[in-house]
Structure 1
């Protein structure tokens, strides 16, 4: 019935997540409200780690892509489940530090790292800095030299793979702001350059071909292209690359029509490609790394809203407005992302009408779901948007000076607050009125 296994309808006809009644959660914490199912998050972590251990025999590691959902509580869950972390900013790295996450399992990505971020990474003795470009490589070498350290690095490579997804989330083709290309020789050139730097140790190569992908073939092809590059580096430079990071991008079910790949199927398929190619090319099989984010937390989250105005424009469209919007979920505005929804207070009600769910922001494009079939809805109803565990909290903003919602973690009928709701004082906290105004 629902797009996620952590949801069900209880005996009162209410939506339930992680054994908790959504109407009770809304009464306790108000709306909008992000709710995350801890049991499903942990289950997804274990599924990935178990498959990596099974098909790579311990010669690999799963990193949680923290940009999908970065809080101290989530860092602690990833740590407890034996995962590493992929961070992409000083703020994400600082969150991991404050959560007590082991730095020898942290990889730092990003296409324009600042000197301050590089210093924080090197001071923290993280496992790997993933280098995006030549200028960044030189900065890392200079900072490491100043601190008397050697930085272990990997290189982000554009493998030229078209992942058949939205243009904004395709990252493996040559026309991308991320990484260095294979086609024009940039990739080999930057690795060669790194070999001549005294405070750099070349450890691995990385690629990420896109997001929300439902096909195995692009991942297999990416593995093939990257292993060919590893063989080329060995041949031309005499350097044996010890680590291959194939990134993430695995699709999830946002709407009933979506049919995502089983995590184990992906890992099994790619591991066979890696094993066969390494044997054919006579190279040592590298330590394998992957970076799922959305597929770990996306299905585990929902967002609860209270319905306000209902506006039926005859022969045009019916708008149902809620007390959140693009400030807590900008993904429709950015990508026209699709979602499923249910009335949390009448989860078993028949879907009798087509409507559009609109937010409260002062923007015509503030839409959460367009043209969805739902039950009859009235002011005061509790609406749940499903599969919002990834990127919604991470990408939320204070547009229109709207405070960000809280995050509640649920499991086995218990609920705990992991992010407090912002208030108006939080909104103005950093404002300053100069004395001469």
Structure 2
């Protein structure tokens, strides 16, 4: 049985989704470009405002349920990502080496640019953990394994992880939308820059870029998705075997250059000591999140999964209808197809738990839409009526609703790690886009 918080969570998310899509896209002139505010930004801001307000507090159960649903919703979107990549394999074949070259840009953005900022701010050895990557889930696990969960290095990784989880997608949406409106970089270069290794950040940033370049939506999503896959595969090995050792060496060099002690006596935690106390340090709960006390996550319960996927078909259909101004059986069938593939991916994860659900969803999407697939034409026709930006709106509405439970972790977050995280995200995205721009024009 689905718990009592399920229906209220869905209804609130539906209301936020509808309101965000009705408000639509708004822009504010800012220098040579525009600050573009998309429905996905309204969704996460409205959800966050509701989650943080104290007039009628949102229950912790509802916030946990919202976060649980995000894990499913983002997978439905990633199936569409895979379909888009599969339909663009011919184009992507010519830029594969450019995508690989971008890993050098990611390395430069974090270790070369963000690390000295952390050293100057006297973050101590937490600088290493905070800047050898943009610090997502895999980095939490690797840093904890390498240095221990009580180490300064781990606290640096954890601090950037918390900030990125809460604000990463929102920040990259604003940054990518602004750069897309200026026109200094090719939209496909910006799309490849959006593949920073985080599914939510990639989705938000690529959607923002696509809005500034109507008619290129499919290409932009395909290039961004391919770049993100490259970062999550090759980039993982680069991070472990190149970036972290390099960060260690560069940390000592920057400390000597700026005359900062390598180990600071007053090197306090960036997230208050005790965060993750006794919990698995490589899990989101270690970042100050509270797991549901008695309910198994919907991602682990295939009996409840069909109901949850049906909810996302409705929520995404609602967002797409308001966004495009029309609804058709073709769009409904496309959303059902995405939901079925998502269910299959979660079912496979029960049989083969070592295969990530994310990989299964994207790869399946690629296979059914690739030129060699006998159903590629049908799949392409079905999804042609979907506005991919609208599919992200209900997911980020739910993400916003879950933010209130991060209040304690956010209070413990040091301003130093916020500044370093912003530097790392900006440099990683922008440098990768600049590298790609040299070859896609």
With the shorter chain as reference, the TM-score category is under 0.3
Bigger radius of gyration, 1 or 2? 1
**Could you say which structure has the higher helix fraction?**
2
- The TM-score with structure 2 as length reference comes to 0.25
**TM-score, with length taken from structure 1:** 0.25
